[in-house]
Structure 1
Amino acid sequence: MPKAYWIAHVTVTDADAYTNYTQAAPAAFQKYGARFLARGGKTEHLEGTSHPRNVVIEFDTMEQALACYHSPEYQEAKSHRKTAALADIMIVEGIE
């Protein structure tokens, strides 16, 4: 079964409010076995719309990644992000 990757491109618009998201989100990620492969860090933007913060999170399966996103824990965290950031988020199934 292939792994899945949660990919987020984020522009934080209110750093103080975004802290509420960053404090709440780890509970969901830990519960669903997420492994951060990239979080912030240096970025070389080559094409398309740029966001200053880019995150890649690995999950064992697509189902696990989707369960994390739709979980009550993550939805609670996400509610804090609504007014604090602009985000493009996708979950991509890896290849075997």
Structure 2
Amino acid sequence: MAKAYWINTFTAVHDRAKLDAYIALAGPAMRSAGGRFLARGNPAHAFESGTTERTTLIEYDSVEAAVAAYHSPDYQAALAVLGDGAEREIRIIEAVD
């Protein structure tokens, strides 16, 4: 089974306090679901239409594990806290062999 990568890119932050509350809950939720943070923060460089907002790369053992993490009650609680505090794009992709 191939590993999977969850790529979370913020396209706009509207409320830093809500984002901070989300981060406090989302990190532990993702780790408890088997996620391993590989990178997070603002990009060092962004090219073409790349955003300079916060981006997170999290490794999971499989696509199924990453999707389950997204739907987990703990992560859904983090999303509820974030609310309209930010706009994001989330992608889950399968690793290549």
Same fold (TM over 0.5): yes
| TM-score, normalised with respect to structure 1 | 0.89
Q: Is residue 33 from structure 1 mapped to residue 34 from structure 2 by the alignment?
A: yes
Quote the Cα distance in structure 2 between the aligned partners of 1:51 and 1:81: 19
- How big is the alpha-carbon RMSD for the aligned residues of Structure 1 and Structure 2? 1.4
Question: Structure 2 vs 1, CA of residues 50 and 42 (structure 1 numbering), >3 Å: closer, same or farther?
Answer: closer
| TM-score, normalised with respect to structure 2 | 0.89
1:41: Cα distance to partner? 4.2
Runs of 4+ in 1 over 2 A off after TM superposition: none
Q: Is residue 2 from structure 1 mapped to residue 5 from structure 2 by the alignment?
A: no
Percentage of matched positions with identical amino acids:
39
**Contact conserved, 1:8 with 1:88, CA < 8 A, in 2?**
yes
**Contact conserved, 2:38 with 2:59, CA < 8 A, in 1?**
yes
Structure 2: stretches of 5+ with no match in the other structure: none
Paired position in structure 2 for 1:89: 90
Paired position in structure 2 for 1:55: 56
